[in-house]
Structure 1
């Protein structure tokens, strides 16, 4: 969920009064205009306490949920300083430089899912093996797999994930003569995003004036490719994006949308997309858990009770992050303890209660409760059940070091060439291919 600015973490409170996270997924709330906040040396605060620094990007919710204060109360000898960088495209290169130098890292470093494979493959020896200190079975298997090196080191503990659903305007569906019951809808498109696209054709036959079925073709692509068992890399680390069945199927579904009249042709996270929510110009959107609060805020009071949520055609993930401890951490032992505590089920549940940040630990799911106002906003949909059911069956995808730029090239160049500039699908594919060649240095 996320662009290079952590789109996958458009984290917002599960309530109408939530503060919008701008920029990464995971789009994040900005703490400084230049992309970073002030940092702390981690040498202590003059009180004799140990100062632990935690480097994050965007809004992780730990401060907002009061977890730092809680931990410091439980550990009076510890002071926690969070160093926030707004954008991941600023944050991650800075982290890489410090890892290579063997100094200057925070005691705990957050790692976005788009960067985890690079960390695993090229920086594995620069992180502590956290698998020796935790019960790995707490986390979803596929989440652990993303942060595990070839020799079995677990370099990151899972924070949030982005299990997928479909959010839809049941009032618009009713006016278009379509099924509005979430269970029956899910059954209609179950198993294939192409069935979801087919329903879009039916919607457009009687679409309410000024509305489209879906916000964008890229939305359909991201949702479909997020559930493929293989997309840009194979299990051996080979680049296979241009011959991946998962990419082809997602691309074909997106092209059906892009070359039809069913798309509002909006670029996600642009101001015009926000306006589309507010104006009710599209009836559906591929909807990871963290988007619930975003929709609630952007649509506002006019959307209360009109939006509903149904299970996605296939299990898919968009977004997520990890906490790692660099071997260069000044307070390694204490940092490991903090990372373990922040990612424990109880703490992940507390962050969920504060922000739309879905846990990567299944044991937290039975006790997750969206705010009553949010449940009412989405027509009393069983949000926790829908997202937790999806989370448990998301396939483990092989990831590669250039996953993020390859995905961006396809979504923001290839698909947009077709959808917004009238190019043919072949021309859009070629545009993406040329960009990816540059990315891969070919």
Structure 2
């Protein structure tokens, strides 16, 4: 499929007419319609603001499920088609950057002048090996632990966030705390073993690829360590074994099915939406090891776009610090622009829902101390194999057998 995508890049200009209709820029009276595809709705208020300030622009969004959105985009690019603006999750960036020919090189619009505005490790993820800029980062998924203070109190655990953070300077401390909670309550401590695997593995400087683009998951001790931590937590009864975004997982935020959840900044708004009656019962403490990231996305302009300049103008406006600040204040998507990390609106941000935890400070520490890890074309499929392996352990499969199957599955999926 990758070869087909690379080959199709030469056909893109011929098929570009499939992307968008006529516009005022073409000499007609119609508005410039920018079709934007993604997996998460960007701020409707900011889109409306941009349209109000640019009355010739009409932005139309199509939101699909996470994996389906990327598969649809890939299929469209293979056919030389696609939207004007593509939202791509960080987990998938390696695959699309590997096929940079299907996208406009944003250097042609001056994007290289923006590189210093973003976290260095985040910016590099959107840059191809030949130096072309495929996409510009939106948010980053700085990490922390959200926990229920009422459930901690019932288990005889401290509830003050500084005392709680002191319980888990590392993942071993987190698991030891979870064991005390389970012993005291008989209830799960964390939503899923997969959550521990993902959070711990994302802290590594290298994950599935090394800096030279070689797959290293088989021999990377960081991956095996994250796996062993998740298995230890499962064996100790800490996991509620809930699939992320399942109805049961969402309901668990409200009904106390689990006491903690590794929480990227963007997840906080979901907790508030799903569990409004638990306001003030949640708090946020630093992640074991402090630094971490899970999620975030990029915006790219496929070559199929007939309105590449207008698309670039919009995404650079949306991802500028002023708008990133508005997004953080509105829905807790954490800025990828470090100039905001000294802005009082970020450093001083608290939320009574989360017991007035210093959210800005916690998430700044999380991303500022992170180096980031290389993301390759098969990062997502390898991740899926290991996450599925952790899921099999949750269901009772022998951990070593499941590990071997994960390695075999990853090797199979990355051939060719």
For normalisation by structure 2, the TM-score amounts to 0.87
Counterpart of 1:241 in 2: which secondary structure?
A: coil
1:145/1:396 contact within 8 Å kept: no
Q: 1:121 aligns with which of 76, 91, 98?
A: 98
Contact persistence 1:196–1:313 (CA under 8 A): yes
Q: Displacement of 1:322 after TM fit?
A: 0.8
Residue aligning to 1:426: 400
> Is the 8 Å Cα contact of residues 140 and 293 (structure 2) preserved in structure 1?
yes
When the two chains are superposed, the root-mean-square deviation of aligned CA atoms in Å is 2.5
- Shift of residue 125 of structure 1? 6.1
Equivalent-residue separation in structure 1 for 2:212 and 2:376 (angstroms): 10
Deviations 1:227-258 (A, max 9, x none): 11111111111111121111111111101011
Q: If each structure's helix is expressed as a fraction of its own residues, which one has the higher value?
A: 2
Whether the 8 Å CA contact 1:349–1:367 is kept in 2: the answer is no
Using the TM superposition, name which of 401-410 and 322-331 deviates more: 322-331
Alpha-carbon distance in 2 for matches of 1:441, 1:136 = 34
Q: Are 2:348 and 2:360, in contact at CA under 8 Å, matched by a contact in 1?
A: no
Counting only pairs closer than 5 Å after superposition, residues 17-32 of structure 1 correspond to structure 2 as: none
Cα distance in 2 for residues equivalent to 1:170 and 1:83: 39
Residue 166 of structure 1 is aligned with which of 136, 139, 145? 145
CA contact (8 A) 1:40 1:53 kept: no
Change (3 A) 1:177 1:94: closer
Q: d(CA) in 2 for partners of 1:416 and 1:94?
A: 26
Residues 35-434 of structure 1 aligned to structure 2 (within 5 Å):
41-44=20-23, 48-62=29-43, 64-65=44-45, 67-76=46-55, 78-102=56-80, 104-124=81-101, 126-130=103-107, 132-133=110-111, 134-190=113-169, 192-205=170-183, 207-208=184-185, 210-301=186-277, 303-314=278-289, 315-365=291-341, 366-368=343-345, 375-411=351-387, 413-419=388-394, 421-434=395-408
2: CA distance between counterparts of 1:176 and 1:98?
52
Length, aligned pairs only: 393
The alpha-carbon distance between structure 1 residues 92 and 269, as it changes in their structure 2 partners (threshold 3 A), is closer
Taking structure 1 as reference, are residues 54 and 361 closer, same or farther at Cα in structure 2, changes over 3 Å only?
Answer: farther
Structure 2 unmatched ranges of 5 or more: 1-17
| Contact 1:61–1:354 (CA under 8 A) maintained in structure 2 | no
Distance 1:378 1:272 in 2: 22
Q: Report the CA distance between 1:105 and its aligned residue.
A: 2.8
TM-score normalised by L of structure 1: 0.82
| 1:277-320 CA distance string (max 9 Å, x none) | 2221221111111111222222331x221111001112111101
Q: Please, which runs of 5 or more residues in structure 1 have no aligned partner?
A: 1-38
SS of the residue aligned with 1:212?
coil
Q: Distance in 1 between matches of 2:298 and 2:222?
A: 25
Distance 1:418 1:399 in 2: 26
- Bigger drift between 258-267 and 217-226 goes to 258-267
Conserved? CA contact 1:174–1:180, under 8 Å: yes
CA distance in structure 1 between the aligned counterparts of 2:19 and 2:232, rounded to whole angstroms: 51
What is aligned with 2:14? none
CA-to-aligned-CA distance 1:10-67 (integer Å, 9 cap, x gap): xxxxxxxxxxxxxxxxxxxxxxxxxxxxx972322796255141422233323x22x2
Structure 1 counterpart SS, 2:41: coil
**1:367 Cα offset (Å):** 4.9
1:377 is displaced (CA, Å) by: 1.3
Give SS of 2:237's match.
coil
Q: Following TM superposition, by how much is the alpha carbon of 1:147 offset from its aligned partner in structure 2, in angstroms?
A: 0.7
